[in-house]
Amino acid sequence: MNFKQYLATAKPSGAAIPAGLQDLLTAVVSTCSTLSHEVAQGALIGLLGSAGTGNVQGEVQQKLDIIANDLLIDGVKGCKSLAGLASEEMELPVPVQGTGDYLLLFDPLDGSSNIDVNVSIGTIFSILKKQDPQAPLQTADFLLSGRHQVAAGYVVYGPQTTMALTLGDGVVMFTLNKVTGEFLLIKDAVTIAHSTKEFAINMSNMRHWADPVRRYVEECLAGVGGTREKDFNMRWIASMVADVHRVLSRGGVFMYPWDQREPHKPGKLRLMYEANPMSFLVEQAGGASTNGKDIIMDLQPTDLHERVSVMLGSKEEIDRLRHYHS
């Protein structure tokens, strides 16, 4: 079954997917198919390396960051159901149709520091329902908790180009057929095991972590002879979309916690563009997510580019992390 057929026949929570949402999702996914081709060409068409510019976060942009952002804007701006969009790469949201029902948020190219070393990167997206479709677009329209998401997903550009999607009734996965350009359904009802023996975190930052995170990781490293009484594997790709894809594919825990290098910042990852959509996917697959104290999907955002500590994956481990933080 291809993606368009899935959208036409799926009935999440017993109801057909609204036509406007189908159109928007189709535009996003079609653009990601194009972006997959651009990523694969890389050095052959001069797309690697720094663009010499910075984004609103003050981070150095790669050439593909800008290309991905522009492709997504161009790919969706014709959707009549879309009222506006916001990107991690832009300071302010962009109005589109003005009277549409939906809002799109995206990280156009997550893990872009890995572009030049040919490691998996990806696109993350989140769709909200505009509370008042008739009112002029404002930044405040986007500042809704993760519980307001009507769809979320990512596309990971790796050996295969694979998409994970949730419409609030489980998680499905598709893989791009690069001959036909179609995304084909490969896995229905994706689930994350309740317990795990695998975690992902950047160990080089261990000296900067808060005590609860350090305690958790030290217990994992102690292995079968420690309090956890089992051996853990550690993984770290430094691309959230790839690390979370591994969690959805075979379980585990992904952590990008607060650390004391920038104590005034609650975390590194963006709530609206990364943490919320990934938390939606993980919860829908039976896992959980937290910033340590609170469930991420329950957080009320106050800024379009708000940052947050992120721990997500197998529920048993997330419950333990929350307990250690309490």
pLDDT tens readout for residues 130-173: 999 888 999 999 999 999 999 999 999 999 999 999 999 999 99
Q: Which residues are annotated as a binding site?
A: 88, 107, 109-113, 202, 268, 274
Would you say 190 and 248 are in contact if contact means Cβ atoms under 8 Å apart? yes
Task: List the one residue out of 166, 174, 132, 131 whose CA is nearest residue 150.
Answer: 166
Average pLDDT over residues 110-115: 82
Q: Taking 90 as the threshold, does the pLDDT of residue 109 lie above it?
A: yes
Q: Taking 90 as the threshold, does the pLDDT of residue 221 lie above it?
A: yes
pLDDT of amino acid 97: 75
Q: Taking 80 as the threshold, does the pLDDT of residue 45 lie above it?
A: no
Q: Taking 80 as the threshold, does the pLDDT of residue 53 lie above it?
A: no
Considering the domain 198-325 in this protein, what is its CATH number?
A: 3.40.190.80
Over residues 269-292, the pLDDT tens digits come to 999 999 999 999 999 999 999 999
Considering the domain 3-187 in this protein, what is its CATH number?
A: 3.30.540.10
Percentage, residues of the chain above pLDDT 90 = 84
Q: Which residues are annotated as a binding site for substrate?
A: 110-113, 202, 268
The band of 114, judged by pLDDT with boundaries at 50, 70 and 90, is: confident
Over residues 237-268, the pLDDT tens digits come to 999 999 999 999 999 999 999 999 999 999 99
Q: Taking 90 as the threshold, does the pLDDT of residue 49 lie above it?
A: no
Amino acid making up residue 270: R
pLDDT of amino acid 50: 61
Instruction: Using alpha carbons, list the distances in angstroms from residue 281 to 74, 111, 191, 247.
Output: 26, 18, 10, 11
3-state SS, one letter per residue, for 167-229: CCCCEEEEEEECCCCEEEEEECCCCCCCCCCEEECCHHHHHHECHHHHHHHHHHHHHHHCCCC
Q: Where are the domains of the chain?
A: 3-187, 198-325
Distance CA 224, CA 228 (A): 7
The band of 57, judged by pLDDT with boundaries at 50, 70 and 90, is: low
Average pLDDT over residues 48-59: 60
Average pLDDT over residues 174-194: 95
Measured in degrees and rounded to the nearest 5, phi and psi for residue 126 equal -140, 140
Q: Taking 70 as the threshold, does the pLDDT of residue 46 lie above it?
A: no
The band of 118, judged by pLDDT with boundaries at 50, 70 and 90, is: confident
pLDDT of amino acid 65: 85
pLDDT of amino acid 76: 97
Would you say 200 and 254 are in contact if contact means Cβ atoms under 8 Å apart? yes
Q: Which residues are annotated as a binding site for Mg(2+)?
A: 88, 107, 109-110, 274
Amino acid making up residue 210: A
Domains 3-187 and 198-325 share a fold: no
Q: Taking 60 as the threshold, does the pLDDT of residue 180 lie above it?
A: yes
At how many degrees (to 10) do helices 240-250 and 276-284 cross? 10
Over residues 59-97, the pLDDT tens digits come to 666 788 889 999 999 999 999 999 999 999 999 999 997
Percentage, residues of the chain above pLDDT 70 = 94
Average pLDDT over residues 221-250: 96
Q: In the predicted model, what is the mean pLDDT of the chain? A: 93
Furthest CA-CA distance within the chain = 62
Alpha helices in the chain (DSSP H): 3-9, 19-41, 63-76, 211-222, 240-250, 276-284, 315-325
